[in-house]
Amino acid sequence: MTYPQHDLTNATIMMVDDEQINMDVVQAYLEEDGYSKFVLENNPERAMDTLKKARPDTLFLDLVMPGKSGFEILAEIRRHPDFKYLPVIILTSATDSENKLKALELGATDFLAKPLDPSELRLRLRNTLGAKAYIDQLAFYDPLTNLPNKRLFQDHIDQAFRKAERHQQPIALLSIAVDNFDSIHAAVGQAAGDEIMKQIAFRIESVVRQADTLTFTREAAGAARNFYHTDGNVFSLLLDQINQAQDAATVARRIMAVFEEPIRQDDAEIYITLSIGIATYPSEGSNSATLIRLAATARDYVKNNGGNNFQFSSKTINSLYEKRMCLESLLRKALEKDEFDLHYQPKVDLQSGLIQGVEALLRWNSGHAGMIPPVEFIPLAEETGLIVPIGEMVLEKACRQLSEWRRQIALPLSMNANLSAVQLNDSELISTLNTIILQHSVPARALTLELTESLLMNNIEEKIDLMRRIRDLGVRISIDDFGTGYSSLSYLSRLPVNELKIDRSFIVNTPHLAYDSSIVEAIIFLARRLGLKTVAEGVENPSQVDFLKRVNCDEYQGFLFSRPLPAKNLYDIFLKPFERSAMAAGRAESGMTP
Ligand code: C2E
Ligand code: MG
Ligand code: MG
């Protein structure tokens, strides 16, 4: 059911007539006027079922039909609670006054005489829809804020539930109460209180409208049909396009943020706070009534605990969210407290067995929660944008270390550092990179940035452009975890990259699984054709090394050779033998001159 407020041509028009041609003619006339939503039914027996599905704004009903007459259908419509007030325009021959009376008695809204006069058709439809829109406005919209009211909310949440069940899509309901509503009203009086309420609605709506950047589409937000004024001081927001329950928290936070600024009313500044309760399907409510109750309970809980906050109704989601919030605040402080460190894992040449370079891997030793592995905090750092300063710190530390080692040893050691796709969106990336390289005077070609394959595939053209600019600096690019994303081979040939790192999941079962071995062999073959270096990740046993040598892989990394190590340990174990002084001494001993 649509509830046209202004644009009547948006209305859904249903017709029931056993002669299809009659309906086609009406449709053709009305299409000229801009109407576009039609539901045609030529079988009177099916009329009620179609009506229930289509929930039209008005119905054109033929009277004389085989099987079931228009009278019977009309009577049935008026008995049905949902359609008691549906405008029904009866199509009848002009002369038949007895039938007209009978139809009126049964509750017909208007008549149209056959054969149809197009002008009359248009006007009668317009007036009928106009009257319906007015009634709908009164019945379904709050007169103060002009937002859809409780009745429409109930209708929509039922529909949203059915859709969510069918498509296995999560939905979230936010119940939003204005904390100090009563005292504000008492202080400023009824009229000013109403004005403030309008402004509150307007502010929340502004968040709802721009929320498309995060969780729901512009279409849904633009129509603002998800936001309701359900009670005196209570609003309800239905999010039916979220990816996960926690998305609702982001929306709640944004709503609260727009009230940090006071509302101005006749020179006075009034601070508004909100209590927001969130309930989600399918994790919690299994029907709309439960969902509404849970959201309201969570909202009241917030209110009773001082308000100005939001809360999920479910303990599990709440604790998940709190854990995340806690991690996020620790992460923000970690940068200031310098809790990050880099470990380095050797990259080894398969033919010579010699160390070629290292990959810098981020380690976070949180004073609070101990060692936290990158898989746990990097996604969060990406979501919050913290990966940009963190990533900059990684590049800085890695280049400083590389420069120091290259001064100490007589080996053209190279450094790999991981770059998050989020960093590619940072407009400062190129200049930051350039500054760091110059500052530590490392040769750019000794630095390789690893980009994860799966993250590269969105906005590919923009990314290619940026990768080119990175390469223009002389820095090399590697595709990390290759094989786990969905990059097509044609893309691969267009990407400005130097190296492929074959994901550990393919290496783990080589050489004993023929299928995986073939994939690895094929990747290496392809990479060679494209002039790319190949690196196998996660090598843990000697048979894998033998296999990789045989299929001409260039380098490998893995626990077999070494785990990632702190800088000092790595130096002592793997780099010390290449110290300039040690090598010079070695040459002197063996009687060689430099
Ligand atoms: P990655 O870049 O693919 O790094 C390889 C991961 O595999 C590392 O995990 C490493 O410790 C692990 N590994 C190496 N050899 C073996 C092996 O033989 N067996 C097994 N089972 N694992 C092995 P780590 O250090 O936990 O890092 C995980 C991921 O976190 C990295 O995967 C990378 O995507 C990300 N990451 C690490 N540091 C950074 C960073 O500074 N910036 C960004 N954006 N991401 C990073
Ligand atoms: Mg990597
Ligand atoms: Mg990897």
Q: Ligand 3 mean position to 495 CA, how many Å?
A: 18
pLDDT at 593: 40
pLDDT at 594: 37
Whether the predicted pLDDT of 317 surpasses 70: no
Average pLDDT in the 294-306 region? 88
Whether the predicted pLDDT of 213 surpasses 80: no
pLDDT at 359: 98
Residue 22: HSE in the Cβ half-sphere, 13 Å Cα cutoff: 22
Please report, rounded to a whole number, the percentage of residues in the chain having pLDDT higher than 90.
Answer: 58
Specify the ligand 1 atom closest to the Cα of 362: 38
Whether the predicted pLDDT of 486 surpasses 70: no
Average pLDDT in the 221-240 region? 79
Q: Ligand 1 mean position to 186 CA, how many Å?
A: 60
Q: Ligand 3 mean position to 555 CA, how many Å?
A: 13
- Please give the Cα distance from 553 to 545 (Å, whole number): 9
Candidates 550, 545, 504; CA nearest to 525 is 550
Report the nearest-CA residue for atom 4 of ligand 1: 361
Report the nearest-CA residue for atom 43 of ligand 1: 418
Average pLDDT in the 212-233 region? 58
C-beta pairs of 40-49 under 8 Å, 24+ apart in sequence: 40/14, 40/15, 41/14, 41/15, 41/16, 42/16, 42/17, 42/18, 43/18, 43/67, 44/16, 44/18, 44/68, 44/69, 44/70, 44/73, 47/16, 47/73, 48/73, 48/76, 48/77, 48/80
Report the nearest-CA residue for atom 30 of ligand 1: 374
Q: Ligand 2 mean position to 483 CA, how many Å?
A: 14
Ligand nearest to the CA of 424: 1
pLDDT band, very low/low/confident/very high, at 581 (cuts 50, 70, 90):
confident
Q: Ligand 2 mean position to 498 CA, how many Å?
A: 14
Whether the predicted pLDDT of 108 surpasses 60: yes
Whether the predicted pLDDT of 322 surpasses 80: no
Specify the ligand 1 atom closest to the Cα of 557: 15
Q: Ligand 3 mean position to 432 CA, how many Å?
A: 24
pLDDT band, very low/low/confident/very high, at 346 (cuts 50, 70, 90):
very high
Q: Are 447 and 406 in contact (CB under 8 A)?
A: no
- Please give the Cα distance from 402 to 577 (Å, whole number): 17
Q: Pairing state of beta strands 555-556 and 533-536? A: parallel
- Which among 361, 396, 436 is the best mutation to test ligand 1's pocket, defined by most ligand atoms within 8 Å of the CB? 361
Residue that wins the pLDDT comparison between 97 and 524: 524
pLDDT at 485: 67
Specify the pTM: 0.60
Please report, rounded to a whole number, the percentage of residues in the chain having pLDDT higher than 70.
Answer: 92
Report the nearest-CA residue for atom 35 of ligand 1: 374
Report the nearest-CA residue for atom 19 of ligand 1: 538
Specify the ligand 1 atom closest to the Cα of 539: 18
pLDDT at 268: 83
Q: Ligand 3 mean position to 242 CA, how many Å?
A: 30
* Crossing angle of the two packed helices 150-167 and 118-140, in degrees rounded to 10: 100
Looking up tokens 């009903």, which residue turns up? 61
How far is residue 398 CA from its own chain's centroid? Answer: 33
Mean residue pLDDT across the chain: 88
Encoded tokens for 565: 């190590």
Whether the predicted pLDDT of 582 surpasses 80: no
pLDDT band, very low/low/confident/very high, at 135 (cuts 50, 70, 90):
confident
* Residue 377 phi, psi (nearest 5): -105, -20
- Domain ranges within the chain, ordered by starting residue: 8-140, 150-313, 326-583
Q: Are 224 and 211 in contact (CB under 8 A)?
A: no
- Which among 418, 450, 559 is the best mutation to test ligand 1's pocket, defined by most ligand atoms within 8 Å of the CB? 418
pLDDT at 101: 86
Residue that wins the pLDDT comparison between 98 and 433: 433
CA distances from 39 to 50, 84, 144 (A): 8, 19, 34
pLDDT at 397: 97
Average pLDDT in the 486-491 region? 64
Report the nearest-CA residue for atom 10 of ligand 1: 564
pLDDT at 212: 44
Report the nearest-CA residue for atom 23 of ligand 1: 538
Helix (H, G, I), strand (E, B) or coil at 145: coil
Pocket of ligand 1 (CB under 6 A): 345, 361-362, 373-375, 378, 391, 394, 418, 420, 450, 480-481, 504, 537-540, 557-559, 564
Ligand nearest to the CA of 482: 3
Q: Ligand 1 mean position to 361 CA, how many Å?
A: 6
pLDDT at 575: 97
How far is residue 508 CA from its own chain's centroid? Answer: 33
Q: Ligand 2 mean position to 558 CA, how many Å?
A: 12
pLDDT at 368: 79
Tell me which architecture the domain covering 326-583 has in CATH.
Alpha-Beta Barrel (3.20)
Q: Ligand 3 mean position to 106 CA, how many Å?
A: 73
Q: Ligand 3 mean position to 184 CA, how many Å?
A: 57
Ligand nearest to the CA of 558: 1
Name residue 565's amino acid. L
Domain 8-140 part of CATH 3.40.50.2300? yes
Residue that wins the pLDDT comparison between 107 and 561: 561
pLDDT digit string, tens, across residues 505-538 = 999 999 999 999 999 999 999 999 999 999 999 9
Average pLDDT in the 227-248 region? 88
Least confident of 255-259, 379-383, 475-479: 379-383
Whether the predicted pLDDT of 221 surpasses 60: no
Q: Ligand 3 mean position to 346 CA, how many Å?
A: 13
pLDDT digit string, tens, across residues 139-173 = 888 889 989 999 889 988 988 888 888 888 889 99
Ligand nearest to the CA of 564: 1
Quote the CATH superfamily of domain 150-313. Answer: Reverse transcriptase/Diguanylate cyclase domain (3.30.70.270)
- Please give the Cα distance from 84 to 531 (Å, whole number): 74
Specify the ligand 1 atom closest to the Cα of 417: 41
pLDDT at 215: 36
Ligand nearest to the CA of 378: 1
Specify the ligand 1 atom closest to the Cα of 387: 44
Report the nearest-CA residue for atom 44 of ligand 1: 420
pLDDT digit string, tens, across residues 40-86 = 999 999 999 999 999 999 999 998 899 999 999 999 999 998 898 89
Q: Could you write out the DSSP letters of every residue in 236-283?
A: EEEE-S-SSHHHHHHHHHHHHHTTSSPEEETTEEE---EEEEEEEETT
Whether the predicted pLDDT of 409 surpasses 90: yes
Whether the predicted pLDDT of 93 surpasses 80: no
